[in-house]
């Protein structure tokens, strides 16, 4: 593990706070051996951060370090954007459907330890009233971030507009046919913070909901679906542009009936995510996925549940119980999320598919940011939020930097 050196360069003291305490410097220079932006590789990089934003990126081979900045030096490390998880149900013993403020703080700290700086808490199908209450709590957390740990940026609504045939562990009694009226209730409860909607395109009225959600800027994602090719293509024309945990909870690909996977894997307008834990998808299937979607449109997610980081045992996913055995999460014999972390997913891509670290990082940084149309994250470029990670050459997290600063705890 690389050493981390923190030393001031002409340390700038800011005006005193009300009770005489001194604010931290507003300018930081972060250095390392290599930077993946992730599109560009820069040797001996310097990333200058001011007031939580990236102000400049250059190489020490071309320009000297700035004055009046605190130096964060990771001499043997690789710098990259902070990781972004757009599909996560919980962790550290807490489920996002029911977590309180302390639960979200614990989840944020765990995610930060694995290099995640932003995430999209993901619901699981529950009763209408339970879902509405969960959306209100999630909106509260998004609107009042705690200042430490990974930050929730928006809500991923997974269910109830999904297929009975491909529901996975989502409770069948709570599944609903797509309805613009019900979707509006979700939107109002979430106070406009729904960022991603997973929907089965073959269901009645699905196309109307796709159009309505897409018109509001939501990333409509096809998933938990037994769709044939036609309805999936119609949903894409209506505004769907992503696919949820590809291959899992989807009609299998058939050479005469390509189904939803035929649309997802061949349409260059559609991005798609996958769970690269070696449990949900075989490594050879992972290679097929990457060849189909390429480094531009493939994403990594965790689908992690409350059990993540907690060892084996029984844990909650929404309103039901999941048993964790090793790397496998089961409910009534079916896979029920994962205990995967996003840094390990990147390492698995390197191990399973033979990718280098730089391209693998793109799958959990730039690509998810672009999928939710967040232009302020996912890249280390001037004008972006100063969320970065320092990694070993093999992808182990050394440090997570939020808003240009190391965690205070």
Q: Please list, in sequence order, all residues whose beta carbon lies within 8 angstroms of the beta carbon of residue 157, skipping any fewer than 6 positions away.
A: 122, 123, 135, 186, 190, 194, 196, 197, 198
What is the pLDDT averaged over residues 5-13? 29
Mean pLDDT is lowest, of 150-159, 239-248, 313-322, 353-362, for 313-322
Report residue 68 as tokens.
């009046």
The reply to whether 377 falls in a domain is no
The reply to whether 34 falls in a domain is yes
Q: What is the pLDDT of residue 306?
A: 95
Please indicate, yes or no, whether residues 49 and 140 belong to a single structural domain of this protein: no
The catalytic site residues sit at: 303
- pLDDT tens-digit readout, 149-191: 999 999 999 999 999 999 999 999 999 999 999 999 999 999 9
User: For position 223, which CATH number holds?
Assistant: 3.20.20.140
What is the pLDDT averaged over residues 52-73? 94
Please say whether the beta carbons of 374 and 73 come within 8 A. Answer: no
Please indicate, yes or no, whether residues 127 and 209 belong to a single structural domain of this protein: yes
Please indicate, yes or no, whether residues 127 and 216 belong to a single structural domain of this protein: yes
Please indicate, yes or no, whether residues 232 and 361 belong to a single structural domain of this protein: yes
User: For position 31, which CATH number holds?
Assistant: 2.30.40.10
Q: What is the pLDDT of residue 148?
A: 87
What is the pLDDT averaged over residues 376-384? 98
Please indicate, yes or no, whether residues 178 and 134 belong to a single structural domain of this protein: yes
The reply to whether 162 falls in a domain is yes
Please indicate, yes or no, whether residues 57 and 149 belong to a single structural domain of this protein: no
Domain span at residue 31 reads 5-81+382-401
Please indicate, yes or no, whether residues 240 and 275 belong to a single structural domain of this protein: yes
What is the reported pTM?
0.93
The reply to whether 393 falls in a domain is yes
Best CA proximity match to 46, nearest among 402, 403, 398, 382? 382
Backbone torsion region of residue 183, taken as left when φ is above 0, otherwise alpha when ψ lies between -120 and 50, otherwise beta = alpha
- pLDDT tens-digit readout, 88-116: 999 999 999 999 999 999 999 999 999 99
Please indicate, yes or no, whether residues 163 and 266 belong to a single structural domain of this protein: yes
Please give the mean pLDDT across all residues of the chain. 92
The reply to whether 376 falls in a domain is no
pLDDT > 90: percent of the chain: 89
Please indicate, yes or no, whether residues 175 and 265 belong to a single structural domain of this protein: yes
Q: What is the pLDDT of residue 25?
A: 52
The reply to whether 205 falls in a domain is yes
The reply to whether 330 falls in a domain is yes
Please indicate, yes or no, whether residues 236 and 357 belong to a single structural domain of this protein: yes
359-393 burial code (b ≥16 CB/10 A, e <16)? bbbbbbbbbbbbbbebeebbbbeeebbbbbbbbee
**Number of separate domains in the chain:** 2
What is the pLDDT averaged over residues 9-38? 60
Please indicate, yes or no, whether residues 105 and 116 belong to a single structural domain of this protein: yes
Please indicate, yes or no, whether residues 33 and 60 belong to a single structural domain of this protein: yes
The reply to whether 204 falls in a domain is yes
């Amino acid at each position: 593990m690389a050493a981390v050196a923190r030393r001031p360069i002409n340390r700038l003291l800011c005006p005193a706070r009300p009770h005489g305490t001194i604010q931290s410097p507003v300018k930081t220079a972060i250095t390392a051996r290599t930077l993946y932006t992730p599109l560009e590789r820069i040797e001996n990089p310097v990333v200058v951060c001011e007031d939580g934003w990236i102000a400049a990126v250059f190489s020490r081979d071309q320009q000297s370090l700035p004055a009046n900045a605190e130096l964060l030096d990771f001499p043997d490390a690789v710098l990259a954007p902070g990781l972004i998880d757009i599909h996560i149900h919980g962790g550290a013993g807490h489920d996002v459907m029911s977590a309180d403020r302390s639960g979200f703080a614990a989840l944020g700290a765990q995610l930060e330890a694995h290099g995640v700086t932003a995430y999209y808490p993901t619901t699981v199908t529950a009763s209408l009233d339970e879902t509405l209450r969960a959306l209100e709590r999630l909106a509260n957390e998004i609107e009042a971030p705690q200042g430490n740990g990974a930050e929730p940026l928006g809500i991923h609504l997974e269910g109830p507009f999904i297929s009975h045939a491909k529901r996975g562990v989502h409770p069948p009694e709570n599944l609903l046919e797509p309805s613009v009226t019900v979707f509006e209730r979700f939107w109002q409860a979430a106070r406009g913070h729904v960022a991603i909607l997973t929907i089965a395109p073959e269901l009645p009225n699905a196309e109307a909901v796709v159009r309505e959600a897409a018109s509001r800027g939501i990333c409509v994602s096809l998933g938990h679906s037994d769709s044939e090719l036609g309805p999936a293509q119609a949903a894409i024309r209506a505004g769907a542009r992503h696919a949820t945990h590809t291959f899992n909870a989807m009609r299998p690909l058939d050479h005469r009936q390509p189904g939803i996977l035929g649309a997802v894997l061949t349409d260059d307008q559609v991005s798609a995510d996958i769970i690269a834990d070696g449990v949900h998808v075989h490594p050879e299937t992972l290679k097929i996925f990457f060849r189909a979607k390429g480094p531009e449109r493939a994403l990594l997610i965790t689908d992690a549940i409350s059990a993540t980081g907690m060892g084996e045992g029984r844990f909650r996913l929404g309103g039901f119980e999941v048993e964790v055995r090793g790397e496998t999460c089961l409910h009534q014999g079916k896979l029920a999320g994962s205990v995967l972390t996003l840094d390990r997913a990147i390492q698995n891509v390197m191990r399973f598919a033979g990718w280098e670290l730089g391209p693998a990082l793109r799958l959990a940084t730039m690509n998810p940011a672009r999928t939710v149309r967040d232009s302020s994250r996912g890249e280390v470029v001037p004008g972006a939020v100063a969320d970065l990670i320092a990694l070993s050459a093999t992808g182990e997290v050394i440090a997570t930097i939020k808003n240009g600063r190391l965690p205070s705890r």
